[in-house]
């Protein structure tokens, strides 16, 4: 797929080289058949991976408020409600408050199998409505680039991570530029590390002449974005330095080469031995790999008759992501591409 399918339309005229990059289709992480929801008692049933409150930059908030389409009606209403509540309301945009971030950090330090529904629902995205994103056209960097599992394994995740960092940088630079242009004093300690610790200022001190007129401020930020040309955009976001576009192109090529084959089979010569409690050792000549005994039935199903994607979905019924193990077994030639020359 081309990145034009992933990058929101409002960026396309600024990032024509970026949106032309091609990467493999992410067939494992599918929102329509979310892996996190395959088990009927999964704590993610009501949220999927949207147990994350986005950092909506000021111009993205303005784009939502300025969109009069029926598709954005719900997103606009939810955005207006957040502004009225003034929780996480800053000139950068709408961001998670400190308590939310602390709670999320505690939850994410635990493996998915230890999460409970109450915890996950407490982190539910404010823009999630009836199982769908209500602001999809104006989603932020992580919502553009996040895949819980990639067909390119660690190489695919590296690509998405780099793209995430680029989009985050663009959002921050634009938000800062627009806020300062509209007379907001940008706090010195409010850097791109706002994820870890956003600043504390009183409403009036922070908003100045825009206090009580925040919706108008956000709309004006979006207007300023619309007035930019590609040269202005480049100067604001990257200055005189080169963007990481060439690096992304190389990562995209690596991603293509690392993508899992559509059909895989486990080498029939593999021996299985008991390892430490709860694990099984796979042995093939001088090669070894240790995997949890829990996933052995799923690995045995790699016989070339079911797609790799379908077998990942099957493992998700016990909330298990096969990604790292499939990558390792492919590297050690214990899993084989059914349609490749003899390996």
Residue 162 included in any domain? yes
Residue 342 included in any domain? no
Task: Give the whole-angstrom CA distance, residue 164 versus residue 120.
Answer: 23
Backbone angles phi, psi at 306, to 5 degrees: -120, 150
Query: What is the pLDDT confidence band of residue 196, given thresholds at 50, 70 and 90?
Result: very low
Q: Which of 241, 258, 275 is the last residue of a domain?
A: 258
* SS3 state at 128: strand
Q: Can you tell me the mean pLDDT for 175-194?
A: 77
Contact of 107 with 115, CB cutoff 8 Å: yes
Degrees (nearest 5) of the Cα angle 191, 17, 3? Answer: 80
Domain identity same for 224 and 328:
no
Residue 40 included in any domain? yes
Domain identity same for 14 and 160:
yes
Task: Give the whole-angstrom CA distance, residue 95 versus residue 164.
Answer: 17
User: b/e for 194-230, b at 16 or more Cβ within 10 A?
Assistant: beeebeeeeeeebbeebeeebbebbbbbbebbeebee
Domain identity same for 149 and 242:
yes
Backbone angles phi, psi at 36, to 5 degrees: -70, -15
Domain identity same for 205 and 322:
no
Query: Alpha helices, DSSP H only, in the chain?
Result: 16-19, 58-66, 73-85, 98-108, 117-122, 141-145, 153-181, 203-207, 214-227, 230-238, 245-258, 296-300, 308-315, 323-331
Domain identity same for 252 and 268:
no
Q: Which of 226, 258, 290 is the last residue of a domain?
A: 258
Residue 125 included in any domain? yes
Whether the pLDDT of residue 192 is over 60: the answer is no
* SS3 state at 289: strand
Whether the pLDDT of residue 239 is over 90: the answer is no
Q: What is the pTM of this model?
A: 0.90
Contact of 115 with 106, CB cutoff 8 Å: no
Query: What is the pLDDT confidence band of residue 208, given thresholds at 50, 70 and 90?
Result: confident
Considering its fold, how many domains does the chain have in total?
2
Degrees (nearest 5) of the Cα angle 195, 197, 202? Answer: 120
What are the residues whose beta carbons fall under 8 Å from the beta carbon of 219, sequence distance 6 or more?
62, 65, 66
Neighbours of 267 (CB within 10 A): 17
> Which residue, among 318, 335, 327, 315, has the nearest Cα to 112 in the 3D structure?
318
Domain identity same for 246 and 306:
no
Residue 51 included in any domain? yes
Q: Please, what's the largest Cα pairwise distance for the chain?
A: 73
Domain identity same for 312 and 180:
no
Domain identity same for 128 and 276:
no
Domain identity same for 115 and 208:
yes
Residue 29 included in any domain? yes
> Which residue, among 165, 198, 192, has the nearest Cα to 96 in the 3D structure?
198
Q: Per residue in 242-297, pLDDT tens?
A: 667 889 999 999 999 999 999 999 999 999 999 888 999 999 999 999 999 999 99
Instruction: Write the Ramachandran bin of 122: left for phi over 0, alpha for psi from -120 to 50, otherwise beta.
Output: alpha
Neighbours of 182 (CB within 10 A): 17
Domain identity same for 302 and 251:
no
Residue 126 included in any domain? yes
Q: Give me the residues paired with residue 129 across strands.
A: 132
161 to each of 172, 212, 255, 298, 301, how far by Cα in Å? 16, 37, 12, 28, 31
The enclosing domain of 278 has a CATH number of: 3.90.930.60
Contact of 89 with 96, CB cutoff 8 Å: no
Q: Which of 258, 273, 301 is the last residue of a domain?
A: 258
- Domain range for 99: 3-258
Domain identity same for 21 and 163:
yes
pLDDT the model gives residue 42: 80
Residue 343 included in any domain? no
Tokens 């969109």: give the residue: 67
Query: What is the pLDDT confidence band of residue 195, given thresholds at 50, 70 and 90?
Result: very low
Domain identity same for 323 and 184:
no
DSSP state of 248: H
Q: Per residue in 60-108, pLDDT tens?
A: 999 999 999 999 999 999 999 999 998 788 889 998 877 777 776 666 6
Q: For residue 23, give both structure tokens.
A: 């990467």
């Amino acid at each position: 797929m081309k990145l034009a399918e992933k990058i929101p339309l409002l960026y396309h005229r600024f990032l024509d080289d970026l949106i032309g990059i091609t990467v493999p289709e992410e067939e494992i992480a599918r929102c329509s058949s979310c892996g996190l929801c395959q088990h009927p008692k999964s704590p993610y049933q009501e949220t999927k991976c949207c147990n994350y409150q986005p950092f909506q930059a000021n111009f993205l908030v303005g784009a939502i408020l300025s969109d009069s389409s029926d598709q954005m009606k719900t997103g606009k209403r939810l955005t207006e409600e957040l502004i009225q509540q003034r929780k996480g309301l800053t000139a950068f945009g709408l961001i998670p408050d400190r308590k939310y971030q602390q709670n999320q950090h505690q939850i994410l330090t635990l493996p998915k199998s230890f999460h409970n529904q109450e915890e996950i629902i407490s982190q539910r995205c404010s823009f999630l409505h009836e199982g769908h994103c209500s602001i999809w056209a104006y989603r932020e960097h992580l919502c553009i680039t996040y895949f819980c599992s990639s067909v390119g394994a660690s190489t695919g995740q590296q690509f998405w991570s780099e793209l995430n960092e680029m989009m985050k940088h663009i959002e921050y630079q634009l938000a800062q530029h627009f806020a300062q242009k509209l007379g907001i004093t940008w706090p010195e300690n409010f850097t791109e590390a706002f994820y870890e610790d956003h600043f504390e200022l009183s409403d009036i001190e922070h908003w100045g002449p825009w206090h009580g007129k925040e919706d108008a401020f956000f709309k004006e930020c979006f207007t300023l974005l619309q007035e930019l040309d590609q040269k202005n955009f480049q100067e604001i976001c990257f200055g005189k330095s080169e963007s990481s576009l060439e690096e992304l192109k190389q990562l995209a090529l690596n991603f293509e080469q690392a993508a899992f084959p559509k059909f895989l089979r486990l080498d029939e010569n593999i021996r299985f031995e008991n390892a430490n409690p709860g694990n099984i050792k796979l042995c093939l000549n001088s090669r070894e790999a240790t995997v949890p005994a829990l996933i052995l039935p799923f690995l045995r199903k790699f016989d070339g008759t079911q797609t790799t994607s379908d077998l990942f979905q099957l493992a998700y019924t016990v909330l298990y992501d096969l990604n790292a193990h499939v990558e390792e077994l492919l590297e050690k030639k214990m899993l084989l591409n059914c349609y490749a020359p003899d390996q």
